[in-house]
Amino acid sequence: MVFSHLIFLYAFLPLLMLLFFVSKNGAWRRGVLLAFSLIFYAWGEPVYILLMLGSAALNYLFGLLVAACRTHGGKKAALAVGIGINLALLGVFKYAGFAVEALNFLPGLDLPVPEIALPLGISFYTFQAMTYIIDVYRGRCQPQLRFGKVLLYICLFPQLVAGPIVRYVDVEAQMERCHVSVSQINTGLWRFMVGLAKKVVFSNTCGLACQNFFANAGNTVLGNWGGILFYALQIYFDFSGYSDMAIGLGHMFGFTFPENFNYPYIARSITDFWRRWHMTLSGWFRDYVYIPLGGNRCSKARWLLNIFTVWMLTGLWHGAHWNFILWGLYYAVFLVLEKTLLHKVLDKLPGVLRNIYAMFIVLVGWMLFYYEGGQALVGVGKLFGIGVTGFTSTYTGDLFYENGLLLIAAIICATPLGRNLLTVGRNCLQRRTDPQLAYATERAFKTLVIVILLLVCTLRLVGDSFNPFIYFRF
């Protein structure tokens, strides 16, 4: 089940809210959330729900074991075993086929490649599970004695299959209270509908435009740039829209999830871009991999090794293909260059030029991300005139003309312009009217927008079969 599905919007979510709000206390509300979270996951993964339950049980037990050990060495050993089992499960289900294919490059080897279906959301919930036992080891939280709370933390449906990656210490108290205010519900509904519109109105439409460019104008340089530009917009609205919906749903049930995107396409460097894109994943690798490896508090050679290790793992996290590893190392190169050489040049450039530089690097990187295998390098070559018949064509121009308004609207909505206009309007209203009237007017406006967006998205979902979530395959 996905958030942008009519069954979710008009059956699952209303029934969940009804049962949640008629529940008499926190324990009952946690029970309702847990039951619906399991139903949500089982809807798409009726078999692999057992794997997710096993992962929760494993990390619940290792949390207790790490806390029970009396010596530092014992705690460290228990943590290492727990992390090892988590990574082994992730490795078997996500990387086994890739590993065997890599081994088959060795002379004389022709091992059968296992074909194992990728469990939905395994990368996200495995990282969350490891976060729990690592934070118990570090003393940031106490081990949870009730398995139900650990299970709810891991399988809580808003962020279960595509993030944001949530840390146990951030939601422990919220799970205990399960208290929701009217203000939280209002905030959550608004955020959810903004995310739904991002997904249904922009991501799906940009995805179709992307397919048209690559399928019908892929023999020209400009056609490939058009295709990858629409793909960049598609993946942004897809993933940030999902994160907005997840954060909005969290608010509606009393949870405050971390932000995952901060307008990454206005970044003025690659360093800035990765402070804005998928922030919970970047923060996870920083706190649980990069810093434990030594971060930048070491020799220059070790620092370089740390950066390339983290970014190789970041690429590999996204998928078991060489192009994802190349994509991660590609960013590692530019991050190192910016920290050592380019920062002096970039600091002197106007902001617009710095943004153009960052977006050029990002768009080329998305071509590595879009294709799999050797086609990734072929795609990059086409951006620079290698393997195409010309710079542009009549059909390429027609595609840009047909999708021009979509492109302009999507670019505007990928910037803070809309948010800033709302802030200006709110401030003007508050200066000219009394606070109660200003609040009532703002609520009426947002309610009207929510209703309009719901109607528009519903009509789009009824008439459109193209509704994939890109990040579900990670």
What confidence tens digit (pLDDT) does each residue in 229-243 have?
999 999 999 999 999
The rounded mean pLDDT for the chain is 89
User: What pLDDT score does 336 carry?
Assistant: 94
Statement: residue 24 has pLDDT above 90:
no
Tell me the pLDDT tens digit for each residue of 50-77. Answer: 999 999 999 999 999 999 998 999 999 9
Residue 258's pLDDT band (boundaries 50, 70, 90)?
A: very high
Q: What is the largest CA-CA distance in the chain?
A: 81
- Note the pLDDT of residue 474: 58
pTM of the model: 0.92
Catalytic center residues: 318
What band does 193 get if pLDDT is binned at 50, 70 and 90? very high
Encode pLDDT of 158-189 as tens digits: 988 777 989 999 888 888 888 888 889 999 99
Quote the pLDDT of residue 228: 95
Return d(Cα 367, Cα 363) in angstroms, integer.
7
User: Does the pLDDT value for residue 317 go beyond 70?
Assistant: yes
Rounded-to-integer distance, Cα 225 and Cα 459, Å: 31
pLDDT of residue 44: 76
pLDDT surpasses 70 at 468:
no
Q: Please, which pLDDT band fits residue 104 given cuts at 50, 70 and 90? A: confident
Tell me the pLDDT band of 105, cut-offs 50, 70 and 90.
Answer: confident
Phi, psi of 54 (to 5 degrees): -65, -40
Q: Read off the pLDDT of residues 358-393 as tens digits, 9 standing for 90 and up.
A: 999 999 999 998 887 778 888 999 999 998 888 988
Mean local confidence (pLDDT), 18-26: 89
The band of 473, judged by pLDDT with boundaries at 50, 70 and 90, is low
Across 18-22, 170-174, 326-330, least confident range: 170-174
Nearest-angstrom CA–CA distance, 386 and 220: 10
Give 49's contacts (C-beta < 8 A, 6+ positions apart).
38, 41, 42
- Name the band, by pLDDT with cuts 50, 70 and 90, for residue 335: very high
Q: Which residues pair with 220 in a beta bridge?
A: 390
d(CA 355, CA 264): 10
- What mean pLDDT is predicted for residues 136-140? 92
